[in-house]
């Protein structure tokens, strides 16, 4: 199996994000960037399939030079090689999907795996748009994946049940938490990653159709309020939790 895994270099979820001076972007200095956690599930699945069936795992990302750090992490986890579409601008999902499709136009893959969404913008659109652009079937947010002979069977979770979907391959499939437990980059993997190829791919990226106008912090939390005392206050508290806070 020749497997492509699309990855993104995103701010660490433990980082406190600060809005930049232009009010439209986040400050990237002093922010630790990591391989998008959902993409780790996709990569782990690709590595497992490769271990079971043989083949090759290729990573691809579109992003600035620093994104090579995440490619290096993926190579250390066990991917065989990587492609890097160098672009500094931040793209909307559609432009990014076109960009990735353009980057792999000379390659062929039996399976394309992605994380279901990137932790930075949370749009969860690129895998679907990429599939559409490539003319391939798409299954989103899978929690279990079985590869057959030219087919894949995927399990998707929704409230109250599981959906089982079968597709022909190649296809674009996105990974959800629970699909597997990603491995740690081993010391040996880290040393081997130094010798693996990261190919720079130049391609003309499509222009973003969306423009970010403004970014703002969420409003700071208001103080609590006491709705009454003793057991008499319980009905009112429950009513407010249900109707106002909408948490129950």
Nearest to 34 by CA among 123, 120, 121, 130: 120
48 interacts with another protein by CB under 8 A: no
CB of 236 to another protein, least distance (A): 31
What are the backbone angles phi and psi of residue 47, rounded to the nearest 5°? Answer: -65, -40
CB of 184 to another protein, least distance (A): 5
Span from 89-97, 126-134, 188-196, 240-248 in contact with another protein (CB under 8 A) = 188-196
Residue 166: other Cβ atoms inside 10 A: 12
Segment interacting with another protein, rule: CB under 8 A, options 3-11, 49-57, 134-142, 185-193? 185-193
Using the rule CB under 8 A, which residue among 185, 203, 206, 227 binds another protein? Answer: 185
Q: Does 152 bind another protein (CB under 8 A)?
A: no
Which residues from 49-78 bind another protein, rule CB under 8 A? 69, 72-73, 76
* Least separation in angstroms between CB 50 and another protein: 17
Piece of the chain touching another protein by CB under 8 A; list 78-86, 157-165, 187-195, 201-209:
187-195
217 binds another protein (CB under 8 A): no
Distances (CA, A) of 97 to 7, 110, 111, 186, 231: 12, 18, 16, 31, 56
- Applying CB under 8 A, among 188, 221, 225, 246 the residue interacting with another protein is 188
- Smallest gap from Cβ 191 to another protein, in A, equals 5
Among 133, 177, 183, 196, binds another protein (CB under 8 A): 183
Give every CB contact of residue 4 below 8 A, 6+ residues apart in sequence.
58, 59, 60, 104, 107, 109, 111, 112, 113
- DSSP letter string, 69-138: HHHHHHHHHT-SEEEEEE--SPPPHHHHHHHHHHHTTT---SEEEEESS-TTT----HHHHHHHHHT--E
Q: Within its chain, how far is the Cα of 17 from the centroid?
A: 18
Among 184, 204, 216, 222, binds another protein (CB under 8 A): 184
Pairwise CA distance, residues 59 & 177, whole Å: 19
Name the site residues for another protein (rule: CB under 8 A): 16, 32, 69, 72-73, 76, 183-191, 193-194
């Amino acid at each position: 199996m020749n497997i492509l895994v699309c990855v993104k270099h995103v701010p660490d979820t433990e980082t406190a994000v600060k809005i930049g001076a232009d009010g439209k972007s986040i400050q990237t200095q002093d922010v630790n960037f990591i391989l998008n956690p959902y993409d780790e599930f996709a990569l782990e699945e690709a590595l497992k399939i490769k271990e079971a069936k043989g083949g090759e795992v290729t990573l691809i990302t579109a992003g600035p030079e620093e994104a090579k750090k995440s490619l290096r992490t993926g190579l250390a986890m066990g991917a065989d090689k990587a492609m890097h579409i160098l672009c500094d601008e931040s793209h909307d999902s559609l432009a990014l999907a076109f960009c990735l499709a353009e980057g792999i136009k000379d390659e062929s893959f039996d399976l394309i795996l992605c994380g279901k969404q990137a932790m930075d913008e949370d749009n969860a659109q690129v895998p679907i748009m990429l599939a559409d652009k490539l003319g391939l079937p798409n299954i989103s947010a899978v929690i279990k994946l079985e590869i057959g002979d030219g087919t894949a069977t995927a399990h998707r979770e929704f409230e109250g049940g599981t959906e089982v979907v079968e597709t022909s391959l190649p296809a674009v499939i996105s990974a959800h938490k629970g699909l597997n437990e990603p491995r740690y980059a081993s010391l040996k993997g880290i040393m081997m990653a130094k010798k693996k190829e990261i190919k720079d791919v130049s391609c003309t990226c499509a222009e973003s159709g969306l423009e970010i106008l403004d970014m703002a912090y969420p409003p700071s939390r208001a103080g609590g309020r006491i709705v009454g005392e003793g057991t008499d206050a319980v009905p009112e508290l429950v009513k407010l939790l249900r109707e106002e806070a909408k948490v129950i």
